């Protein structure tokens, strides 16, 4: 009987260790899930999410060191499992596929050069990546169009036509085209060196306006994962191109 009791204790201790591992995973998951979700001060840490389970593990460790029966340990272990289940059920977790994790975790998915050149777009770039990672594809495109707007405004300012706060894309592009036409008719020094850059940027922005920006503002347009990724890659490439010559 003594041997059976010792074996029973060892089996129950294995259950406790398994429970502790589950707690560690919950704590770690809680820590990861709050990355990039806003104000970290208002969110509990992973360990705060499972305080009752951790307290039960400590209680079992103390009991195990003393004279405790298998039946008593079994009750404590069952209570531990109940606490783990209850605390896990009280917290919402989401899973990011491994192949998309980098989009969620990378704070500068367009690279440091774009972040330095267009600081106003940093938040939307990061949010575009996070939305893509969790399958919010239309929201991803929406944020990408806000990123493109930062590029649009930078081009307008660079050619001497800074946009008004109330101006829309079409109006800003017309002002840019007029400014470029004036420079072509009376070229300032070094204009021919950068003329192709600006004319190409305007042409690309006008295509984006018609193909993506305007449709994304309407309720009848949505995007699947494949299309959102295509747009993500295209916007990233364009903003990297702009960052070689422009900054806010």
Q: Is the torsion defined by CA of 172, 237, 215, 219 positive or negative? A: negative
What's the pLDDT score for residue 91?
A: 76
Q: Is domain 99-243 given the CATH code 2.20.28 in the classification?
A: no
User: The whole model's pTM is what?
Assistant: 0.70
Do 239 and 116 meet the contact criterion of CB atoms below 8 Å apart? Answer: no
Residue carrying the six token digits 């398994």? 18
Contacts for 247 with CB less than 8 Å, ≥ 6 apart: 116, 117, 118, 154
pLDDT at 203: 95
CA distances from 92 to 31, 87, 88 (A): 13, 10, 8
CA dist 212 to 232, 234, 237, 240, Å? 11, 11, 16, 19
- Tell me how many degrees the CA angle 148-154-158 measures, rounded to the nearest 5: 150
What is the predicted pLDDT for the residue at 83? 82
For residue 231, what are the contacts with CB-CB under 8 A and spacing of at least 6? 140, 141, 144, 212, 223
Whole-number Å distance between alpha carbons of 151 and 168: 14
The span from the CA of 118 to the CA of 196, in Å, is 21
Measuring CA to CA, which residue among 94, 80, 81 is closest to residue 133?
94
- In this prediction, residue 48 carries a pLDDT of 63
Tens of pLDDT along the chain (248 residues) come to 333 444 344 444 445 455 555 545 544 544 433 333 333 334 345 556 678 778 878 887 787 777 777 788 788 888 888 888 887 787 777 888 999 999 999 999 999 999 999 999 999 999 999 999 999 999 999 999 999 999 999 999 999 999 887 789 999 999 999 999 999 988 888 888 899 999 999 999 999 999 999 888 888 889 999 999 999 999 999 999 999 999 99
Is the Cα torsion angle 45, 51, 57, 61 positive or negative in sign? positive
Residue 67 gets which letter from DSSP?
S
195 CB-side CA count, 13 A? 14
Report the sign of the C-alpha dihedral through residues 162, 167, 168, 173, in that order. negative
In the numeric block, the tokens 């029966």 are attached to 69
- Nearest CA to 95 out of 127, 134, 136 is that of 134
């Amino acid at each position: 009987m003594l041997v059976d009791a010792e074996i029973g204790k060892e089996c129950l201790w294995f259950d406790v260790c398994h429970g502790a591992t589950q707690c560690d995973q919950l704590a770690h998951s809680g820590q990861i899930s709050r990355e990039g979700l806003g104000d970290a001060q208002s969110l509990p840490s992973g360990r705060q999410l499972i305080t009752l389970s951790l307290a039960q593990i400590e209680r079992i460790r103390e009991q195990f060191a003393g004279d405790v029966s298998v039946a008593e340990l079994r009750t404590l272990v069952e209570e531990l499992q109940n606490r783990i289940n209850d605390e896990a059920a009280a917290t919402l977790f989401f899973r990011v596929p491994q192949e998309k994790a980098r989009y969620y975790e990378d704070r500068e998915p367009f690279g440091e050069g774009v972040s330095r050149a267009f600081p106003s777009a940093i938040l939307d770039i990061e949010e575009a990546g996070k939305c893509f990672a969790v399958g919010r594809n239309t929201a991803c495109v929406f944020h990408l169009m806000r990123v493109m707007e930062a590029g649009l405004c930078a081009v307008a300012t660079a050619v001497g036509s800074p946009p008004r706060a109330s101006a829309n894309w079409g109006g800003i592009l017309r002002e840019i085209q007029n400014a470029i036409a004036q420079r072509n008719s009376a070229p300032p020094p070094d204009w021919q060196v950068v003329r192709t850059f600006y004319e190409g940027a305007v042409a690309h922005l006008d295509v984006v306006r018609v193909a993506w920006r305007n449709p994304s503002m309407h309720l009848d347009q949505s995007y699947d994962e494949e299309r959102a990724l295509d747009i993500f890659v295209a916007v990233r490439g364009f903003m990297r191109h702009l960052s070689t010559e422009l900054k806010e």
